[in-house]
Amino acid sequence: MKKLALVILCVASFYGCDRINQKIAIKHNDAVIEASDKVVVAFDKLNNALATFNPDSIDKALAAYNLQVNNSLQELNKAVSLNDTSLKVGTREMLQVFKSVGDNEFKQISTIYHIPDSLYTEKEEKEVTDIATAIDEKIEAAQLKQQNAQKAFAKKFNFDLIFDKDSLKTKPH
């Protein structure tokens, strides 16, 4: 009888631990996604500023974007830690790509947009297009890698990722 009680207690304990780990994993996922979502919003604002062709607006949006990327990297470092770091690592790698394009490609575009209109030629226009294409390719690859890490993380901790047009939510199984 004592063995049966011990087995039942152990099974109940493991089930409870799984639920606790799942709740912690969901909290971790949500914190990581919140940090990366803030960067996506800043990225969209920077793209909107670029569409104005106004160098001052672009400079302000680029500074805000770079600041948000750095803040999100700090938030990510403070996120709940788990034994499984795959999601955190995948998201950090994605944010590093966002940081790199802010420090390099977006900065190049900003420099080009500072050229006076009278000196701006098709050459600069093509250069901006080529840089924008490179940004898109880098960001898409990084986001895909991060999404795969997130899906694997959700599967491991047994919760669903629910995508809607405004946000990403999690739901335990």
Sequence-distant (6+) residues with CB within 8 A of 1 are none
CA separation (Å) from 141 to 30, 39, 98, 158?
21, 16, 11, 26
Sign of the C-alpha dihedral computed for residues 133, 45, 69 and 54 taken in this order:
positive
* pLDDT at res. 17: 46
- For the chain of 173 residues, list the mean pLDDT of each consecutive stretch of 10: 39 46 89 92 97 96 98 89 85 97 98 95 97 98 94 92 62 53
User: d(Cα 87, Cα 148) in Å, to the nearest integer?
Assistant: 9
Q: Categorise residue 172: left if φ over 0, alpha if ψ from -120 to 50, beta otherwise.
A: beta
CB burial class (10 A; 0-12, 13-18, 19+) of residue 83? exposed
Longest dimension (CA), the chain: 91
Task: Give the single-character DSSP code of 117.
Answer: G
Rounded to an integer, what distance in angstroms lies between the CA atom of residue 129 and that of residue 162? 34
* Helix, strand or coil, per DSSP, at residue 121: coil
Please report the domains of the chain, with CATH numbers, ordered by start residue.
19-172 (1.20.120)
What is the Cα–Cα distance from 52 to 58, expressed in whole angstroms? Answer: 8
> What residues contact 52, with CB distance under 8 A and at least 6 apart?
58
Tokens in use for 36? 């990366």
Beta-bridged to residue 30, according to DSSP, are none
pLDDT value of residue 78: 85
